[in-house]
Structure 1
Amino acid sequence: MQYTTLGRSGLTVSRACLGTMNFGSSGGVASCDETEATRIVDAFLDAGGNIIDTADGYTGGQSEQIVGRAINGRRDSVVLATKAFLPQGPGPNDRGLSRAHLTRALEASLRRLGTDYIDLYQCHQWDDSTPIDETMATLDGFVRSGKVRYLGCSNFTATQIVESQWAAQRANATPFISLQPQYSLLARGIEAEILPTCRRHGLGTLVWSPLGGGVLTGRYRRGAAPEADTRMGRLKASPLPMARAWADGLLNEPNLDIADQVVKTAAELDTTPVAVALAWVRQRPGVTSVIIGPRTLDQLHGNLTGLAIDLPPEATNHLDEISRSATDQSRMGAEFPGRPSAAT
């Protein structure tokens, strides 16, 4: 396992980050029970991984509960990351980045996780209704109290990152050290402005959906409905319009063309499409850690293998050219402004 520091901080994290959106089951797209989730966590930590990411909105809080129980006894060796923003109740102050909501959300996450501190506390998305000065001052209070060690954000634009860092500077408060953006061969929008902004303002990146929602695994074919037990199959069958839109946006012709090239490259290198797609992301400039979201122990092992290999320059350049050839418009379907779990 390789390690690096996260943004402009001394916090050391593994180049692989375990994402736990699939842990638990609450009628959404997740489908990993606690027994398998615990096996995944144990194997990830045994392999040298040290950063685990969850959120209070994942599977109705089940993900945090499962993670908390899984790391019991190993807490000090884990960089524990969670997020807040998503609705936690029916009231108008039960969501967002206000002082009122964040204070309650943090306490609830600490209870579910069974810990007295969170290593990386992140804003799950931007809140237009709350002044960023209020948000950053509130988060700084969490750090000063010892309940949070570091701060990050997820799905912020370049402008929102800058506004946040300036707000922290004005208040002599704790700035963000990380961003969670979407990034893969199918979704490269962060390269133009977001990655350069992260470099200038001291943010490392924990990139999510590196397999393009599973499209880059090569499991999906033109004209064929996704199998029911696949990620796209579950999204297509979801009652959530956002989930179905996500799947429709990913399963388009340009994306399937890119997936075909990933499969071809994998065959040439005698490896798997998963390994090729993950290695491409890990080797990109500006990527600190790659979030993997396995549902099974076998998937975890396959992901870790991919994150351990280096693509030869000719393969990297070929995939770079192929993915750039798709138009921005055709890739926008994969770059959705939120995760399909957002309403779960």
Structure 2
Amino acid sequence: MTLLGSSDLDVFPLSLGGNVFGWTADRYTSFAVLDAFVGGGGNFVDTADVYSAWAPGHSGGESETILGEWLETRTSADVVIATKVASHPDFRGLSAATIRAAAEASLQRLGVDAIDLYYAHTEDPDTPLEETVAAFGALVADGLIRYPAISNHSAEKTREWVRIARDLGVAEPVAIQPRYNLVDRSIESDLLPAAEELGLAVVPYSALASGFLTGKYRSSDPAGQPSPRAKGAASYATEDGLRIIAALEDVAAAHDTGIPSVALAWLRAKGTVPIASASRVEQVEGLLAGARLDLTADDVATLDAVSATATVAA
């Protein structure tokens, strides 16, 4: 288990992504995926109020609703829940009023007394950061959330958030959630050093690069692929991207495991707690394996080298 930053949140070293709940995984399948994850030792689930507003007929909140219904029927499940504010169609931005209204709506859908980890989903240039930081602090003081966190913020904004929180004497963030994986290592130059300096846990999303790092998508043409993520995954299938897949295959063979497990283990070796989702129950085993696989120093060096200079379309 892993403590997130300066918090007392003791989590499994991999978070189950809830972006698929109610989208590519219906209610029944979502329940089964959650059961398999928790049954395998997982206890950390990530969602957002906007999931899955992009799907036809959806308005946002579908993932939180399914997760809340699962929690209601699994009263013995002891899980750490992370969700986010800023992108829901009805709660855009990070004004104080929006943050509180969105948190109350998320609490209702989730059916919990307090949100364990509450992320500012994206930067809001229209709201002073002082207002946002104070609003998150007020949520902690009032018991609606346990810890603030930050997603998709620059290193500069992350440092500024922490400085303001300290100046105001309110709860500081304990984690950041950036995009980070073997085909996108851009945060290593600035955001990762900032997180280390500030003592923030790093909980990266897109850990498997829209499914590309599963090894399932090896063509730059998504035609004929049934998955809604095929287009995103196909964009990574460049010569550099395929060299990364080949290196993952070699390491996976040496450990008698799957490519996704190695990609997740690499992120863990970088000191992060990656997020990965599963639309089918049979995918959960590979996620759990990635949380338990310890790569050798040579494995990490091999993957570092093949991905260090890669130019991969996003």
Normalised by the size of structure 1, how large is the TM-score? 0.84
Normalised by the size of structure 2, how large is the TM-score? 0.92
- Could you tell me whether the CA contact under 8 Å between 2:220 and 2:236 is conserved in 1? no
Other-structure match for 1:28: none
Among candidates 90, 95, 98, match of residue 95 of structure 2: 98
Other-structure match for 1:74: 75
Specify the SS of the correspondent of 1:77.
coil
Offset, 1:277: 1.1
Q: Does 1:120 align with 2:107?
A: no
Letter in 2 for 1:4: T
Other-structure match for 1:294: 278
Offset, 1:167: 1.1
Q: What is the RMSD of the two structures over their aligned residues, measured on CA atoms?
A: 1.8
Other-structure match for 2:64: 64
**Alpha-carbon distance in 2 for matches of 1:228, 1:75:** 39
Specify the SS of the correspondent of 1:176.
coil
Offset, 1:9: 2.1
Q: Does 1:84 align with 2:85?
A: yes
**Alpha-carbon distance in 1 for matches of 2:88, 2:220:** 37
Deviates more, 1:183-192 or 1:255-264: 255-264
Specify the SS of the correspondent of 2:87.
coil
**Alpha-carbon distance in 2 for matches of 1:268, 1:5:** 30
- Could you tell me whether the CA contact under 8 Å between 1:41 and 1:71 is conserved in 2? no
**Alpha-carbon distance in 2 for matches of 1:227, 1:297:** 23
**Alpha-carbon distance in 2 for matches of 1:8, 1:181:** 18
Among candidates 12, 20, 26, match of residue 33 of structure 1: 26
> How do 1:1-344 and structure 2 match up within 5 A?
3-25=1-23, 31-59=24-52, 60-72=60-72, 73-74=74-75, 77-89=78-90, 94-222=91-219, 224-225=221-222, 227-233=224-230, 236=231, 246-247=232-233, 249-284=235-270, 286-287=271-272, 289-326=273-310, 330-331=311-312, 333-334=313-314
Letter in 2 for 1:322: V
Offset, 1:75: 7.0
Residues 283, 173 of structure 1: alpha-carbon distance in 2 compared, 3 angstrom cutoff:
same
Higher RCO (C-alpha under 8 Å, 6+ residues apart) = 1
Letter in 2 for 1:62: E
Residues 301, 315 of structure 1: alpha-carbon distance in 2 compared, 3 angstrom cutoff:
same
Offset, 1:309: 1.4
Specify the SS of the correspondent of 2:146.
strand
Offset, 1:150: 0.6
**Alpha-carbon distance in 1 for matches of 2:224, 2:115:** 38
**Alpha-carbon distance in 2 for matches of 1:97, 1:224:** 38
Other-structure match for 2:56: none
Q: Which runs of 5+ in 2 are unaligned?
A: 53-59
- Could you tell me whether the CA contact under 8 Å between 2:49 and 2:88 is conserved in 1? no
**Alpha-carbon distance in 1 for matches of 2:182, 2:250:** 14
**Alpha-carbon distance in 1 for matches of 2:67, 2:285:** 19
Q: Which runs of 5+ in 1 are unaligned?
A: 26-30, 237-245, 335-344
Specify the SS of the correspondent of 2:229.
helix
**Alpha-carbon distance in 1 for matches of 2:29, 2:128:** 41
Identity of aligned residues (%): 37
Letter in 1 for 2:28: T
Residues 231, 304 of structure 1: alpha-carbon distance in 2 compared, 3 angstrom cutoff:
farther
Residues 293, 76 of structure 1: alpha-carbon distance in 2 compared, 3 angstrom cutoff:
closer
Deviates more, 1:295-304 or 1:216-225: 216-225
Instruction: Report the count of equivalent residues.
Output: 306
